Chain A
Amino acid sequence: GEQVEQLPSSLIVQEGASVLINCSYTDSASVYFPWYKQEPGKRLQFIIDIRSNMERKQNQRLTLLFDKKTKHLSLHITATQPGDSAIYFCSASIGNMGYKLTFGTGTSLLVDP
C-alpha cells in the first residue's frame, strides 16, 4: 500500500524565519495531497492541498510544491510566527475526494518568539 515519508521530524526556528517540510510517497496512483496542522489538544486542521495535475499552490504564507516524477512534495512556510508552532502532516489519497488518507509521520515545528 501507499507509504508516505516526511522529513524532518522536528524543527526549531526563530520567529520570522522560513521553513521547508519535505514529503515523499510511493504509490503513483495517489492524486490528492492534503496537509494538516495539529496543535496540542486540538483537532487536525486542514491547511493546504494539491492535486497531481498541479505543480504549485499558494495560500498566504504557505506554498506547496509537487513533483509527480519524483513523487515528492515540499511545504514552504514563510515569515513564521509562534502561532505556527504545531505538528504538520502530509497525506496522500488515491481518490480525488480526500478519503482514505495515508499520513506521513509528522513534522513538529517550534517557532521561538
Chain B
Amino acid sequence: EAAVTQSPRSKVAVTGGKVTLSCHQTNNHDYMYWYRQDTGHGLRLIHYSYVADSTEKGDIPDGYKASRPSQENFSLILELASLSQTAVYFCASSDTRTGDTEVFFGKGTRLTVV
C-alpha cells in the first residue's frame, strides 16, 4: 500500500524560531504536496512539487518554503514561525504518470507555535 510518512507527528515551536517538517514517500510518486488544516477549514495547499529539486507555490505559500531534495523527500520550512501558523500539516503524494488519480496523505503533523 502507498505510504506517506511525516515527522515529527507533533511539535511545539517558539515564535520566531525555525521549523522543519519532513515527509517521506515510498510510492515512487512524482507529485508531492503540503497542505495545512485549520479548525473549521478544509485543507489548503501551501506548496507542491512534481520533480526533485523543484517546488511550486500553492494557494497559501506566504511564510513557508519547501524543499524537495529527492523524489522521496519533501520538507516544509517555516523560517520565522508565527502564532498564525499553528495548524495541522498534511503531506501527500500522487502519481500523474500511471493514470491513478488517487492522492495519498500522511497522518499529519500538529504544529503549535507559542
Contacts and interface: CB of A to CB of B under 8 A. Distances in A.
Per DSSP, chain A at the interface is loop
A46 B103 contact: yes
A100 B45 contact: yes
B42 A104 contact: yes
Interface string B16-37: 0000000000000001010100
Interface residues of A, number: 27
A40 to B, nearest CB: 11
B105 A89 contact: no
Nearest to B103: A98
Contact of A97 (B40, B101, B106, B107): B101
Nearest to A4: B42
Contact of A6 (B35, B42, B105, B107): B42
B65 interface: no
A103 B43 contact: yes
